Amino acid sequence: MAVGTGILRVPKEAKKGEVVRVQMVITHPMSPARKDPQTGQQIPAHHLTKLDLLFNDKLVSTINMGAGVSANPFMALTLKVEESGVVKIVYEDNKGGKWEKTAEIKVS
Amino acid sequence: MKKKLLLGVFTAGAIAGGLLSTKAFAQVEGEISPEEEMRLVQEFNKMLAEGVNPGEIWYEVGKEAIKKYHLDKCDLGLGPGVFKGAAAQLPRYFADAGKVMDLETRVGWCLQKYAGMTQDQVLKFVRQCWGKSGNCMSEYDGIIMYLTMESNGHKINVNLKDPHVKKMFEMGKQVYYTRLGPWDFNCATCHAGKKEVRIRATRLWSADRPGEAGGAVSIFPKYLVRWGMPMSMHYRYAECIRQMRWPEFIPHSDLGVALSTYMYGLANGTEIKAPGIGR
């Protein structure tokens, strides 16, 4: 229930040809590599690197992220829908975590 | 100039400390007036409100934590395990505890009764993420978020006719308006009066202007972008009290209940709309 949990929100229904907003929020510390101020030890970076947006298993957009993105990032992408389908996001971080989330959208 | 400043906010990626980046741009091109700064803050807040609130992730955390700590036996006033709409009628008098309790105090009490925690363990549980902004997921914050969100849409309805609750309301009102501490500070120093008061670029709500208390408490717990985690009412009390240089606030104390009773009493009739979001 910690790092990597996400909320994916798309409108449940849309008209054919409409541009919908895909909103997502992912829990992640998004921290750069830094030194512990007390001990001087190096703390490695921990942040998301890539997020792919797929519609019906076809890649639509990619977001490449670095440590500059703030914690628990909220991202919104626009998507033009021509047919009903499944919106899927696949995201990974630099420590090997890989997650995905799906949501359905009905297009009339 | 407006477009450039807004672009600065967007290129920061997600919801960054947007205000910092806009300030940086402004200093390059010349100081912006207080009115302009206010307008930019309102636009930033509007942008935050239009998206998904990261605080909603704590809803899931809370759902699991309630099972883990056996809080499905907890009676918030509508029966054991009945959570829908329960937060809207709090604070209220609980006969089994013999005192008035608000949501957080009641959860603390239930943790002692059903999860076997001692009072010290409860305080540690409450404070587990305090001061640790960014990358701290508190089960306690999750529980409070879940219980409050289950009352989303319900109107706050504190029963001020109950003599115990009325007494707490008067106590809270007295604490609110009595100047205390080395700086002679109180809640009313900032949050009262008919005239608008501002801290930097934020307009503060006032207990003396009707309706504003409701707007303030109905969105708690509030997700704070600068902390990356939600802030509960008692955390807010602890922060305000620290800033006023009053003695340290103990979560779930009678002081917290008195303040909650006063503010939620003023907020009667407002719909609960958790989580809120702010800088």
- A35 forms beta bridges with A42
Q: Name the CATH superfamily for A6-32+43-107.
A: Immunoglobulins (2.60.40.10)
pTM: 0.81
- Reported as a pLDDT band with limits 50, 70 and 90, residue B4 is very low
Count of domains in chain B?
1
Looking at residues B60-79, what average pLDDT do you find? 92
Tell me whether residue B34 is in a domain. no
Complex confidence, ipTM? 0.75
Set of chain A residues whose Cβ sits within 8 Å of the Cβ of B66: none
> Is B95 domain-assigned?
yes
Q: What is the pLDDT of residue B41?
A: 79
Q: What is the dihedral of CA A70, B57, B62, B271, to 10 degrees?
A: 110
Question: With an 8 Å Cβ cutoff, is A70 touching chain B?
Answer: yes
Chain A positions in Cβ-Cβ contact with residue B57 (cut-off 8 Å): 5-7, 25, 27, 72
Query: Is there a domain that residue B53 lies in?
Result: yes
* Pairwise CA distance, residues B90 & B226, whole Å: 29
Q: Has residue B265 got a pLDDT over 50?
A: yes
B187 is a catalytic site residue: no
Q: Which domain holds residue B266?
A: 46-278
* Residues B142-157 pLDDT 10s: 999 999 999 999 999 9
Residue in A closest to B135 by C-alpha = A29
The position carrying tokens 């009707």 is B210
Catalytic annotation, pick one of B136, B187, B190, B240: B240
Q: For residue B211, what pLDDT band results from cuts at 50, 70 and 90?
A: confident
Token reading at B150: 């289950």
Domain with residue B94: its CATH number is 1.10.760.10
Nearest CA in chain A to B12: A69
Taking one residue from A and the other from B, the number of pairs with CB-CB distance under 8 angstroms is 60
pLDDT band at B31 (very low <50, low <70, confident <90, very high): confident
B95: Cβ–Cβ under 8 A, 6 or more apart, which residues? Answer: none
